[in-house]
């Protein structure tokens, strides 16, 4: 089991929470990005730097992901690809992505992009503070605990 993080867009506070969890649980955290992300250090932290190019980091996350892993991304198309591969996925605000809710999330994302492209809405500046971090940490810890329990019960974990 590993934790995969779409590190290009993941807020520093969420990355730090993932690093703490990796140290605490001994589970490897893999941060994937097209650029070097500062602060990715520790024996359970790996920085996967991908070549520049559209979708290279997303493709690498999908290549690395295995059932039983936990991925952190706010990228809806990437979340769709990961969930299709039986990967548990949450965003940096604690939203859990599932087969059941991704169609709605994608539809809303596409609608908002369409409005922005037509100039009907401006760019949203989203803050990331204590409330967002708490929502992420609560969801992240809950799912990570579930995955750890599942991995200790599986016949191949021995």
Domain assignment of residue 43, yes or no = yes
Work out the average pLDDT over 83-111: 84
- Reported as a single tens digit per residue, the pLDDT across 12-51 is 999 999 999 999 999 999 999 999 999 999 899 999 999 9
Tokens of 73: 């991304």
pLDDT digits (tens, 9 = 90+) for 116-134: 777 777 666 678 999 999 9
DSSP 9: T
| CA–CA dist 142, 63 (Å, integer) | 25
Whichever domain contains 61, its CATH number is 3.40.50
What distance in Å separates the CA atoms of residue 111 and residue 22, rounded to the nearest whole number?
Answer: 36
Residue 48 within any structural domain of the chain: yes
User: Residue 58: inside a domain, yes or no?
Assistant: yes
| Inside any domain, residue 142 | yes
**Residue spans of alpha helices (H) in the chain:** 12-25, 56-64, 76-84, 99-117, 130-153
Question: Tens digit of pLDDT for each residue in 142-156?
Answer: 999 999 999 888 665
Name the residue with higher pLDDT: 132 or 114. Answer: 132
With residue 70 as reference, give the H or E element that holds it: strand 70-72
Helix (H, G, I), strand (E, B) or coil at 44: coil
Q: How many domains does the chain have?
A: 1
- ∠ at Cα 6 (47, 22), nearest 5°? 60
Report the C-alpha gap between 109 and 61 in whole angstroms: 21
State the pTM of this model: 0.85
Residues ≥6 apart with Cβ < 8 Å to 94: 132, 135, 136, 137, 138, 139, 140
Domain assignment of residue 53, yes or no: yes
Please name which of 6, 4, 3, 144 lies closest in space to residue 75, comparing C-alpha atoms: 6
How far apart CA 134 and CA 125 sit, in angstroms, is 19
- Structural domain boundaries, residue 77: 2-99+129-157
Instruction: Specify the pLDDT at position 86.
Output: 94
| 50-to-22, 42, 58, 79 alpha-carbon distances in Å | 22, 20, 9, 18
> Is residue 6 in some structural domain?
yes
């Amino acid at each position: 089991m590993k934790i995969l993080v779409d590190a290009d867009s993941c807020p520093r506070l969420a990355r730090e929470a993932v690093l703490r969890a990796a140290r605490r649980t001994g589970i490897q955290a893999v941060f994937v990005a097209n650029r070097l992300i500062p602060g990715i250090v520790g024996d359970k932290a790996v920085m996967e730097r991908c070549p520049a190019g559209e979708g290279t980091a997303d493709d690498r996350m999908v290549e690395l992901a295995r059932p039983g892993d936990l991925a952190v991304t706010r990228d809806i198309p990437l979340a769709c690809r990961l969930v299709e591969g039986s990967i548990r996925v949450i965003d940096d605000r604690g939203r859990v992505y599932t087969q059941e809710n991704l169609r709605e999330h994608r539809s809303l994302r596409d609608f908002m992009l369409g409005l922005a492209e037509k100039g009907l809405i401006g760019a949203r500046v989203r803050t990331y503070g204590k409330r967002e971090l708490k929502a992420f940490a609560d969801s992240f810890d809950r799912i990570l605990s579930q995955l750890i329990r599942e991995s200790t019960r599986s016949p191949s974990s021995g």
